[in-house]
Amino acid sequence: MRYILFVFFITSAAKAQQKKTFTNNYFDQPIPADTPVIFAPGLVSDQFGNRDMAISPNGDEMFYTLQFRGGLISTILHSKKINDKWAKPEIASFCGLYGDLEPAFSPDGSKLYFVSNRPMSDAGKTKDYDIWYVTKENGKWTNPQNAGAPINTEKDEFYPSIAKSGNIYFTRAVEGREEDIMVCRYENDKYEPAEGLSDSVNSVADEFNAFVDPDEQYIFFSSYGRKDDLGNGDLYLSKKNEKGEWMQAMHLDKNINSRGIDYCPYITPDKKYFFFTSNRHNIKIPFAEKQDIQSLHALLQSPLNGYDNIYWMKADDIFGR
């Protein structure tokens, strides 16, 4: 049956990858072309929901989020390259108790930002989602710190993206809609109150999960509810003009966007690859052939079972799309 064959291929490919020595900055995966492909099937993208991506500036660490049932379980996974070999992903040392997601490195790699609903103190109760960060001590990421006001408020803040200037971009709920993209500018050694981006980026629809170029010359983000939205949320790109203003956002083409949700954009530090998350799948009901319990289990245990997967592609021509 075609589903059994498909899952067998994915599983075999994953086992073959596991036997390899991961020597490049991307788990020794075959380099993609200009069409999105699942990143590291069976290793990173598996039968569970996997989303977000953050690679250290020197290419030796990777963080991403494992999320199950819309956030019922959400934790950050970590892999590190040691002696040119990537270690098997494990739960990050600062995670495993609360709802954690959306890791993002500072441009110099000295801090790792993330989102969490953890309490402000060990004895406290979980709270709304805030932006936190960790720093490295003795080779380990430790000492989680809440980013504090004015970045964090009594509302949820999500998806940090940090520029070389120190400006931090993120998502926050606003009056009348679920989310908009905000920026707290770093001036005179402190953060200014959050501002919403212009209507070239934000709209009457929901905008969320923005990745900003460290030099702040372009921004990728997701939006749900626009007229050109193909499904449950699509990816868009806005660039700055000569005056430093965000230009009208462009909808990325159908080669990238799908009828599922497409979000969590990310450009690697070397600017060679574009990562994003999608829950696209190839399940069609009714099935082309009658399923039995074995084939159905195999389908549900494959990456393309309807949960999120991480995709990647070359980034060299995406800016012209």
Q: How far from chain centre, in Å, is Cα 127?
A: 22
pLDDT of amino acid 320: 60
Question: Residue 318 carries which DSSP code?
Answer: G
Task: Name the residue among 106, 97, 310, 66 with its Cα closest to residue 78.
Answer: 66
Over residues 155-165, the mean pLDDT reads 97
Q: Which amino acid is at 6?
A: F
Asked which of 5-19, 87-101, 122-136 is least confident by mean pLDDT, the reply is 5-19
Cβ count near 165 (within 10 Å): 13
Kindly indicate the confidence band of residue 10, based on its pLDDT and cuts at 50, 70 and 90. very low
Please give the structure tokens belonging to residue 294.
Answer: 């074995």
Q: Higher confidence at residue 21 or residue 35?
A: 35
- Inform me whether the pLDDT recorded for 6 exceeds 60: no
Burial class of residue 118, CB neighbours in 10 A (0-12, 13-18, 19+) = buried
Contacts (Cβ under 8 Å, ≥6 apart) of 51 = 64, 65, 67, 101, 263, 264, 277, 308, 310
- Give the gyration radius of the chain's Cα atoms: 20
pLDDT in tens, 168-184: 999 998 877 789 999 99
Residues forming beta bridges with residue 122, ordered by sequence position: none
Task: Name the residue among 47, 42, 4 with its Cα closest to residue 20.
Answer: 42
pLDDT of amino acid 254: 80
Kindly indicate the confidence band of residue 15, based on its pLDDT and cuts at 50, 70 and 90. very low
pLDDT in tens, 25-82: 788 899 999 899 999 998 898 888 999 999 999 999 999 999 987 778 999 999 999 8
pTM: 0.89
Over residues 282-305, the mean pLDDT reads 88
pLDDT in tens, 193-248: 999 999 999 999 999 999 999 999 999 999 999 999 998 899 999 999 999 999 99
Out of 2.120.10.30, 3.40.50.12780, 3.40.50.620, 3.90.420.10, select the CATH number for domain 2-320.
Answer: 2.120.10.30
Kindly indicate the confidence band of residue 23, based on its pLDDT and cuts at 50, 70 and 90. low
